[in-house]
Chain A
Amino acid sequence: MQLALTVGSVVIAGLIVVGIIGFLFEKYANGLEPREGASRGASRDVREQTS
């Protein structure tokens, strides 16, 4: 019982860490999404312009 509770707590803590990383990533990734009317992401044209 003690072992099950400890393992459960560690796993939940791990999931919380993963959730926080995921949340932060989603905030970052959403900031990269093209806005309405803007050209669509890193198409070949964008890369050609930057090279």
Chain B
Amino acid sequence: MNLPHLHLILNHVPTIGTAVAIGLLLLSLVRRNQQLTRVGFEVICVVALITLPAYLTGVATGMELEKLPDVSKAVIARHHDQALQAFLFMLVTAGAAWLGVWRFRRVGNLSTTNIVVVLVLALLTMGGMMTTATLGGEVRHPEILAPGEIAPTAPPAWLSAAMVQRFVLDNTWVWPSCETLHFIGLWLLFGVVVLVNLRLLGVMNGAPFSAYHRLLPWGVLGLGINLVTGMFWVIATPEQYMTNISFGLKMGALMLAGADLLYLTTFDGPWNVKSGEEAPALGKAFAVSAIALWIGVMYFGRMLPFLGNAF
């Protein structure tokens, strides 16, 4: 299996997964069932996690396809631009959905504003994903075009990968600024992750888990900073990342660590840990894996030039 193969496996998940989440949200509104809404939000978070490798493997696939003589670079570029836009929408949607899940855990209900915002964002994301999927199909499937129609069929995107690439490479201040902000996002995220997971491991158990849970949005904010700054680099110099084993391992660790982050707020086990109580064995296992995985994310990020071929 190679990255294009992986892209073929993953690339339907964002479109279909978002559609499933929207269906759950609409059903929850009809049934007036916030438990169902919460499940819809959780599905969005999981789909967003899978969208990351779907996007990155897509970049790698584009680099491979560009070498073939019968493939249009313009169609690949348009597909990439649309994927970038849709991915950004997906991140914002997942952020709002995660905040809803976090709130539900704390107060046992969701605000109407939160539900409406996530639903609207999810609809926009699905629209972007559907267009992305259509444009992706046009790269290798001319049979989906109407007679006389020429690919790409969508008008130019408002955000293009080439635009981001020029912005990063033509301005010397962008890369070091992203580096600095990436480190700030890193300590924000890792600081919160370590605190929360140490509590699950029995350290600082004078306070209930809910007190540490309160900090999680700060960690997610750090993750958001790092996703945006990291995307700048990947888009600017994809060749340094897509063939780099260290980057692949970093992304794998990031996916699993993201799942760990979801566990902290979606499952009952950690939340029910009161002052002076020990976390359940599963909670401790997740805590150990979370700390190890985030260290792995940092380690493989640092090793990009040493294990891989970057820079």
Report which A residues bind B (CB closer than 8 A): 3, 6-7, 10-11, 14-15, 18, 21-22, 25, 29, 32, 40-44, 46-47, 49-51
- Which of the candidate stretches B171-179, B238-246, B284-292 sits at the interface with the other chain? B171-179
The prevalent SS among residues of B at the interface is helix
Are B106 and A21 within 8 A (Cβ)? no
Tell me the complex Cα distance, A51–B109, Å.
Answer: 10
Are B176 and A7 within 8 A (Cβ)? yes
What residues of A have a CB within 8 angstroms of the CB of B180 in the complex?
A: 7, 11
What residues of B have a CB within 8 angstroms of the CB of A22 in the complex?
A: 218, 221
Task: Select A41's contact among B106, B176, B221, beta carbons within 8 Å.
Answer: B106
Are A11 and B177 within 8 A (Cβ)? yes
Report which B residues bind A (CB closer than 8 A): 33-35, 103-109, 172-173, 176-177, 180-181, 184, 188, 210, 214, 217-218, 221, 225, 268, 271-272
Query: Which residue of B has the minimal Cβ distance to A39?
Result: B108
Are A18 and B172 within 8 A (Cβ)? no
Tell me the complex Cα distance, A14–B107, Å.
Answer: 31
Are B35 and A29 within 8 A (Cβ)? no
Are B217 and A25 within 8 A (Cβ)? yes
Are A3 and B173 within 8 A (Cβ)? yes
